[in-house]
Amino acid sequence: MKRRMPVLLSLLVLLAAGDRLGAQPQSPRVGLVLSGGGARGAAHIGVLRVLEQAGIPVESITGTSMGALVGGLYAVGHSPDEIERFLESQDWNNLFSDAPQRRLTPLIERSDTRYQGQVTFRGWNPELPSGLWGGQRLTETLDILTTRQMLEAGYDFDRLRVRFRAVATNLLDGTPYVFRQGSMTQALRASMAVPLLFTPLQHEGMLLADGGLANNLPTDVAHAMGADILIAVDVTSPLLDAEDLRTFFNVIDQSISLQMSDNVRVNRRLASLLLKPDLEGLSGSDYGKIPEIVRRGEEAARARMEELKELTRESLPRALPHSPRSAPPVIGSISFEGLAQIPASQLQAGMRVRPGDRADPASIGAEVSRLYATRFFESVSYTLEPLKDDAYHLKFVVREALLNTLGASLRYDNDYQFVALAEYTARQLFHTSSKLTVSTQFGGLESHFASLRIVPPSLPFLFVEPRVEVGRLERLDIREEERIDKFTDKRESGQLTVGALLCRQLELSGGYRFERVRITGGSDPFRVEGSSRHAGLLFRLHWDSLDDVEFPHSGVRVDLGADLQERELGGDFDYSRWHAEYRQHLTPWPGSTLQFMAGGAYSDGDVPFYDLIFVGGHSFADAASRQFLGLRRDEFRVRQLAVVGVGYRRQIFARPLNLVKRGYLTATYNGAFLGERSAPPYDYRYFNGIGVGLAADTMIGPLHVQAGWGEGGRLNFHLSFGPRF
Nearest-CA neighbor of 513 among 447, 468, 574?
468
Q: Are residues 297 and 351 in the same domain?
A: no
Nearest-CA neighbor of 396 among 73, 132, 96, 139?
139
Q: How far apart are CA 585 and CA 588, in angstroms?
A: 10
Query: Is residue 251 domain-resident?
Result: yes
- Residue ending a domain, among 338, 373, 400, is 400
With a cut of 60, say whether residue 652 has pLDDT above it.
yes
> Where does the pLDDT of residue 326 fall: very low under 50, low under 70, confident under 90, or very high at 90 and above?
low
Query: Is residue 457 domain-resident?
Result: no
404-413 and 701-710 as β-strands: parallel, antiparallel, unpaired?
Answer: unpaired
Q: Are residues 338 and 300 in the same domain?
A: no
CATH of the domain at 712: 2.40.160.50
Q: Are residues 48 and 182 in the same domain?
A: yes
Q: Are residues 175 and 231 in the same domain?
A: yes
Q: Any residues with CB less than 8 A from the CB of 321 and at least 6 apart, and which?
A: 153, 158, 159
Q: Give the number of domains in the chain.
A: 3
> Where does the pLDDT of residue 252 fall: very low under 50, low under 70, confident under 90, or very high at 90 and above?
low
CATH of the domain at 375: 3.10.20.310
Flag the least confident range among 104-113, 163-172, 328-337, 594-603.
104-113
- Residue ending a domain, among 381, 400, 419, is 400
99-123 burial code (b ≥16 CB/10 A, e <16): bbebbebbebbbbbbbbbeebbeee
Query: Is residue 516 domain-resident?
Result: yes
Q: Are residues 86 and 55 in the same domain?
A: yes
With a cut of 50, say whether residue 16 has pLDDT above it.
no
With a cut of 70, say whether residue 19 has pLDDT above it.
no
Q: Are residues 169 and 306 in the same domain?
A: yes
Q: Any residues with CB less than 8 A from the CB of 123 and at least 6 apart, and which?
A: none
C-alpha dihedral, 624 to 626 to 628 to 631, nearest 10°: -70
Question: From the CA atom positions of the chain, what is the Rg in Å?
Answer: 32
Q: What is the percentage of the chain residues whose pLDDT exceeds 90?
A: 66
Q: What is the pLDDT of residue 389?
A: 81
What mean pLDDT is reported for the chain?
Answer: 89
- Residue ending a domain, among 400, 418, 452, is 400
Q: How far apart are CA 599 and CA 558, in angstroms?
A: 9
CATH of the domain at 54: 3.40.1090.10
What is the tens place of the pLDDT at every residue in 447-463? 999 999 999 988 989 99
DSSP state of 222: H
> Where does the pLDDT of residue 262 fall: very low under 50, low under 70, confident under 90, or very high at 90 and above?
confident
Q: Are residues 513 and 600 in the same domain?
A: yes
Q: Are residues 301 and 374 in the same domain?
A: no
Query: Is residue 19 domain-resident?
Result: no
The H or E element that residue 413 is part of is strand 404-413
Instruction: Dump the DSSP string for 309-357.
Output: HHHTTT--PPPPPP----SPPEEEEEEEES-SSS-HHHHHTT----TTS
* CA distances from residue 580 to 405, 503, 600, 643 in whole angstroms, order as listed: 33, 20, 5, 10
What is the tens place of the pLDDT at every residue in 560-617? 999 999 999 999 999 999 999 999 999 999 899 999 999 999 999 999 999 999 999 9
Query: Is residue 88 domain-resident?
Result: yes
Q: Are residues 269 and 216 in the same domain?
A: yes
CB-facing half-sphere around the CA of 14: CA atoms within 13 A = 6
Q: What is the percentage of the chain residues whose pLDDT exceeds 70?
A: 92
125-127 and 117-122 as β-strands: parallel, antiparallel, unpaired?
Answer: antiparallel
Query: Is residue 395 domain-resident?
Result: yes
DSSP state of 223: H
Q: Are residues 350 and 302 in the same domain?
A: no
With a cut of 80, say whether residue 545 has pLDDT above it.
yes
The pLDDT of 122-134, averaged and rounded, is 73
Query: Is residue 460 domain-resident?
Result: no
pTM for this prediction: 0.83
Query: Is residue 592 domain-resident?
Result: yes
Q: Around Cβ 209, how many Cβ atoms within 10 Å? A: 29
Q: Are residues 338 and 393 in the same domain?
A: yes
Of 7-16, 247-256, 474-483, 511-520, highest mean pLDDT:
511-520
- Domain span including residue 209: 30-98+134-312
Q: Are residues 384 and 334 in the same domain?
A: yes
**Residue 112 dihedral angles phi and psi, to the nearest 5°:** -60, -25
